[in-house]
Amino acid sequence: MKDAFYNFWAKHPRTPLFPYSGTAIEPYKNNVPRVPHICVKVPTAGGKTFIACNAIKTIFDAFAYDKPKAVVWLVPSITILDQTIKNLKDTNHPYRQKINSHFGNKVEVFDKAELLQGSGFNATSVKEQLNIFVLSFDSIRTANKEGRKVFEQNGSLQSFEALLGKDEEISLMKVMQYLNPMIVVDESHNAETDLSVDMLKEFNPCFILDLTATPRKNSNIISFIDALELKKENMVKLPVIVYNHQDKTEVINSALQLQKRLELQAIEEEKKGGKYIRPIVLFQAQPKNGKDFLNEEEEKSNVQKLKEKLIELKIPAEQIKIKTANINEIKGIDLMSKDCEVRYIITINALKEGWDCPFAYILASLADKSSAVDVEQILGRVLRQPYVMKHNFPLLNLSYVLTASSKFLDTLDNIVKGLNKAGFSDKDYKLADPAMLEEAKKQDPLQQLTVFSTSETPTEDITSDIDTTRISAPSETELPNTTVSEIEETAIEQNEAFEKTVSEMEANPTTALPNEIQQLVKTYSIKDIFREQAEQINLPQFYLKVPANDLFGKKEEELPLEKENLLEGFALSKADTNIAFDSITSELYKVDLDETKKEHTPTFVRLDGEVKESVMTYILDPSRKDSRVKNFTKRLMDLIGNMFPIPDKEIEKYINRILEDFKDEQFSDLAANEYTYKDKIKFKIIALSEQFAEKKFKDFLDTDKVFIKPSFTLPKSISPGDTAKDITKSLYEKEGSMNGFEERVINEIGNMTNIAFWTRNIERKGFRINGFVNHYPDFIIQTKSGKTILLETKGDHLDAEQKIRLGRFWASKAGNNYRYFMVYERRTVDGAYKLEDFLNIIKDI
């Protein structure tokens, strides 16, 4: 696993890294021996639960198809437990819909009580469906009575005796151990002390997937996601705009005014066809010196007094709710419903992980001025973007923190901690007034400790220093006060800057990388001598005209063409099923550790007849004869996997048609050679889809539905990982690696007098001719006469007719300044060139 982990990063398709040269990616930690244990670093609002839902099928696809499919989903708190169970059980929720689509709706989700009672959970069901067990960390600890129930003998699970054996004491843990489950550890940073490695081992897992914004030291991280990636996908309200006021009264005043301004914009947004938004303020009521309230009554008294202050300001009581450790007035309320009135929520630190409302825009801290504002636990709650879309009014794309603190440097430190806790960095907040930071730096630390000692004597009432006479009721007609105007101006300015950075990401692959791994990437810049000419190149790509949302007057929009656009209307279920299944030899193997070899290296072992027979029994059982086609169809679909954008239903119908005419001996042959049958069927589906896509592409070109326009500029720097030998006239300081034939060809070209420069086009990261296939030509060559040449080299043993046809389509539409060539060494192929002929042509371009 350590080698696989290293190779994963060293050969990463997006940007190969040198993993152990920095601190972000350390050597693989073998936390649970012989069990893959990886971590995905996902910031708040990054969709970690959805990532886990998608990961389940990918992980089980790597195991034997007849392995029981069980997932232990571990969460850190009751809040997240309830939320996860509710969402995964809801067949209308996107999480469950995604899992259902992957497992043919054969999915069951259990909480701990249902498992202990054996409710719908038995020896038969575990073999016929995906079983997800949602448990809290605390519910499986033997230190408490509830946790011990998991390990105790349980008569409700007696049906599992057939699987575990009569001599085994049947407990829920024994059953889960037998199932050898995949484990999802949600918010895994919380598990550092709560869930030991021994507890993970206890489950006898086959795979462990950690999900967190803040990975632990022993995490094996396979994915980093940061603010710019989420902002690019409109998932977060960033940057956070911070304004420090003189006192709590000003904080409340600004919060009310800013909420009204945001709501007015939200109303306008909806009138113009946008979605419904009702911006919410989180008032964080912190007690003196940041300490907890002495008791429940003191807490209730103080937050209630704050609510009364807001009501005194003519805010309707139904718009104000309290959510603390002891009071929960938002329970059961759908905060995103149009019928909901809530605009203000009073809390302390109770809104931690698991509380989600994208309408929360403003975090207004009511800590005493002499305190450093502590928003570490709660800041992530205002970052989620409503509806995961960019809103037309820029103020609705950001979030806001309003404070009043003499210890502003400490407050900023806590804001950064809050961003870090949510998986972001200190680059993701901006001050509404930069001067306030300079003022804070000038403050004498000793003065900060004493200046308020006489004017702010601690009292039991945290609202005693709020002067309601200085607070203006929010108005729909009055202009905002100076402070709110400053916040708005900064917000608009910073939003534009953030948007610009996001738009530049694609142009520079290195800056598009998460901060943690940028220093691990070796980058190579364009040589100064070629910079000016290279910046002029703008390569054309194919675009598709599609109907637009005409609420804003647009009838059509232009989107880069993708293959899935060309497969609309592709009826696979009715397509040709002629496939030659002759000359198939047995290809059923398993991968195992060879104990006889040094270091127990993985080895392919052919399954003998006895093992193969047991593996296939469930399909070939005579009692299942009537459902044989159905069973084999399901098996082949599992092997073929996702073929987006072709719907699973179409693939299922197609395979059904193929198998309907099979005789008994063909089913036996299929059972013995299923991987070869799978390959032949999959290749046939791919060929059919490509034929359809190519015809659609030609039709779209003829009707101008597909057209070409300049859209790809050469990046300022590249990070190819492995590099090639230095060859004259290369555009970058180093170019990506190439094979011997490619080196020979480009060396000949580089030494021609008419060539200005060339660059190796990197597969999946460089320029793509987008059509019925995605084609990344090997080289981009610029001549001194101003012509741009795309060159693809091919070994004589390889076929590339589709790429040749697409390249010729591209060149014919791109214009006279562009050329496309496919070159073989000696082979004659229609539409391509032999090397000698090509070199004679290019020297005159």
Q: Residue range 784-811: average pLDDT?
A: 94
Q: Residue range 64-85: average pLDDT?
A: 89
In this prediction, residue 195 has a pLDDT band, given cuts at 50, 70 and 90, of low
Q: Residue range 415-436: average pLDDT?
A: 83
- CA angle in degrees (0–180, nearest 5) for 54-57-60: 140
Structure tokens at 455: 């004017």
Structure tokens at 440: 């804070």
Most confident segment among 46-50, 372-376, 596-600, 817-821: 817-821
Residue 120 has pLDDT above 70, yes or no: yes
How does 345-372 read in b/e, with b if 16+ C-beta sit within 10 Å?
bbbbbbbbbbbebbbbbbbbbbbbbbbb
Instruction: Tell whether omega for the bond before 239 is within 30 degrees of 0, i.e. cis.
Output: yes
pLDDT at 597: 42
Q: Which one-letter amino acid corresponds to residue 748? A: E
Mean pLDDT of the chain: 85
Structure tokens at 384: 């989620």
pLDDT tens for each residue of 654-708? 999 999 888 888 888 888 888 889 999 999 999 999 999 999 999 999 999 999 9
Supply the angle between the helices 664-672 and 628-640 in degrees, to the nearest 10: 30
Residue 508 has pLDDT above 70, yes or no: no
The ranges assigned to domains in the chain are 31-225, 233-502, 572-694, 713-842
Burial bucket for residue 409 (CB in 10 Å: 0-12, 13-18, 19+): middle
Backbone angles phi, psi at 827, to 5 degrees: -70, 140
What proportions of the chain, in percent to the nearest 5, are helix, strand and coil? Answer: 40, 15, 40
pLDDT at 733: 96
pLDDT at 166: 81
Query: 481: which residues sit within 8 A by CB, 6+ positions away?
Result: 253, 254, 257, 472
β partners of residue 429: 240
380 contacts 428 by C-beta, under 8 angstroms: no
Residue 289 has pLDDT above 80, yes or no: no
pLDDT at 606: 40
Residue 37 has pLDDT above 60, yes or no: yes
Q: Indicate left, alpha or beta for 113 from its phi (over 0: left) and psi (-120 to 50: alpha).
A: alpha
The answer to whether the 31-225 and 233-502 domains have the same CATH topology is yes
Supply the angle between the helices 648-660 and 674-702 in degrees, to the nearest 10: 120
Residue 429 has pLDDT above 80, yes or no: yes
- CA angle in degrees (0–180, nearest 5) for 837-841-845: 165
β partners of residue 718: 524
In this prediction, residue 506 has a pLDDT band, given cuts at 50, 70 and 90, of low
80 contacts 143 by C-beta, under 8 angstroms: no
In this prediction, residue 509 has a pLDDT band, given cuts at 50, 70 and 90, of low
Residue 457 has pLDDT above 70, yes or no: no
266 contacts 279 by C-beta, under 8 angstroms: yes
537 contacts 713 by C-beta, under 8 angstroms: yes
CATH tag, 233-502:
3.40.50.300
d(C-alpha 486, C-alpha 516), whole Å: 33
Share of the chain above pLDDT 70, in %: 87
Count of beta carbons in the 10 Å neighbourhood of residue 545: 16
Residue 337 has pLDDT above 80, yes or no: yes
Q: Residue range 178-182: average pLDDT?
A: 96
Query: 716: which residues sit within 8 A by CB, 6+ positions away?
Result: 507, 508, 525, 526
pLDDT at 554: 58
In this prediction, residue 511 has a pLDDT band, given cuts at 50, 70 and 90, of low
Structure tokens at 387: 């509806």
pLDDT at 436: 78
Q: Residue range 552-567: average pLDDT?
A: 83
Topology (CATH level 3) of domain 31-225: Rossmann fold (3.40.50)
Weakest mean pLDDT among 14-23, 41-50, 376-385, 827-836: 14-23
Residue 815 has pLDDT above 90, yes or no: yes
Residue 84 has pLDDT above 90, yes or no: yes
Considering only the top CATH level, what class is 713-842?
alpha beta
pLDDT tens for each residue of 224-234? 888 888 888 88
Running DSSP on this structure, what letter comes out for residue 490?
H
pLDDT tens for each residue of 734-752? 999 999 999 999 999 999 9
pLDDT tens for each residue of 482-495? 889 989 999 899 88
